[in-house]
Chain A
Amino acid sequence: MAARRAEVDAVLIGVGLVGTLLGRELTRAGLKVVGLERGAPRDTVPDFQAPQMHDELRYAVRKALMQDNTKETYTFRHTVSETALPMRRWASFLPGTGLGGSIVHWNGQTFRFQADDFQIACTRLSMAASRAAGAGRRS
């Protein structure tokens, strides 16, 4: 039978990027908030403490922050004619778990920008600039 708990003003379903930001805003506004999240609780210290957090084998290679795939995984296929099979090891698709959600999955890695990234930025900037100039002429 469902347990009935004390009522609160707001319940966050999932405490990831959006949940944590909302939680901060709502509690700042004086509301009583409960956040629901599956998996382990985590805190800045000790869970994200340096230098332990810089353990590349544990986190970047063995994906210790991701969902425990010894217990649960996803099956997938690329076309309807294939048989969907379980993802046995995490590779490019990284389902997360625990407090912090996908906000922790970037794993502290900020990749150096490639030449193409600047190219994209330049192209978009110049497109925006010409759009702005066009709008200026029309007005």
Chain B
Amino acid sequence: MYRSGPWQPGKPEQGYQLPFTPAELFRNALRAIAEDLRKTNRGSFANLKAEDQDAYLRALEREARDLGGVPSNIFFESLLGMTIEGFFSDPVYGGNKGMVGWKLIGFPGAYANFYDFVDQHGIAFTRPPMSLAQDASGTVHVHPVSAPRTAPKSQ
């Protein structure tokens, strides 16, 4: 993410223009949400009833309420994006435990190749999904991805 000026609100087509890193965005917004619930005597978000949680999230999505400098709709969008990433990214990143997200949608994961299947048509692919960090016995080792020797830093 580019974090130098000029800083000013842009048009939607100009993309993300807030000064926050993802971590700052979440911390600011979550602090503001906790404060909001506390001030209105609703306790913590976790203690709300499920339908009240949904209603609260829907309001955040719909409105551009200020959450410590973060418009609530942007926070909601980021939360949704991160949830999807966590659920469907390789378990090497710590989410998608037991590859449940992949099993749910029938995604094979990160097989190095499918040479054995090239000439086979009309058959179901029934092999279990494969993680980037899986050893020969099928155990997934969760750790930060070791960068390939010369690959540029991820953003």
- Please state if A64 and B151 are interface contacts (CB–CB under 8 Å): yes
Q: Bound complex: CA of A90 vs CA of B3, how far in Å?
A: 13
Measured CB to CB, the nearest residue on chain B to A62 is: B154
Within 8 A of A (CB), among B1-34: 1-4, 6, 8, 10-11, 13-17
Q: A57-B85, A61-B85, A76-B14 are in contact. Are A97 and B152 (CB under 8 A)?
A: yes
In the complex, what's the smallest C-beta–C-beta distance from A47 to chain B, in angstroms? 5
- Please state if B15 and A55 are interface contacts (CB–CB under 8 Å): no
Q: Bound complex: CA of A46 vs CA of B85, how far in Å?
A: 25
Centre residue among A43, A64, A97 by max chain B CB count within 10 A:
A64
Residue among B16, B85, B113, B154 making CB contact with A88, cutoff 8 Å: B16
Contacting residues, chain A, for B15 (C-beta < 8 A): 87-89, 91
- A side interface size, CB within 8 A: 40
The number of inter-chain residue pairs (CB within 8 angstroms) is: 103
Contacting residues, chain B, for A47 (C-beta < 8 A): 148-151
Q: How large is the interface on B (under 10, 10 to 19, 20 to 34, 35 or more residues)?
A: 20 to 34
Contacting residues, chain B, for A97 (C-beta < 8 A): 152
The majority secondary structure among interface residues of chain B is loop
Contacting residues, chain B, for A40 (C-beta < 8 A): 150-152
- Please state if B145 and A55 are interface contacts (CB–CB under 8 Å): yes
- Please state if A89 and B16 are interface contacts (CB–CB under 8 Å): yes
- Please state if A83 and B2 are interface contacts (CB–CB under 8 Å): no
Contacting residues, chain B, for A72 (C-beta < 8 A): 2
The answer to whether the Cβ of A50 comes within 8 Å of any Cβ in the partner chain is yes
In the complex, what's the smallest C-beta–C-beta distance from A56 to chain B, in angstroms? 7
The answer to whether the Cβ of B143 comes within 8 Å of any Cβ in the partner chain is no
**What are the nearest 3 A-B pairs in CB distance?**
A50-B112, A51-B110, A54-B110
Q: Which residues of B contact A (CB under 8 A)?
A: 1-4, 6, 8, 10-11, 13-17, 85, 89-90, 92-93, 110-113, 130, 132, 145, 148-155
Q: Which residues of A contact B (CB under 8 A)?
A: 39-43, 46-47, 49-52, 54-58, 61-65, 68-70, 72-73, 76-78, 82-83, 85-91, 97-98
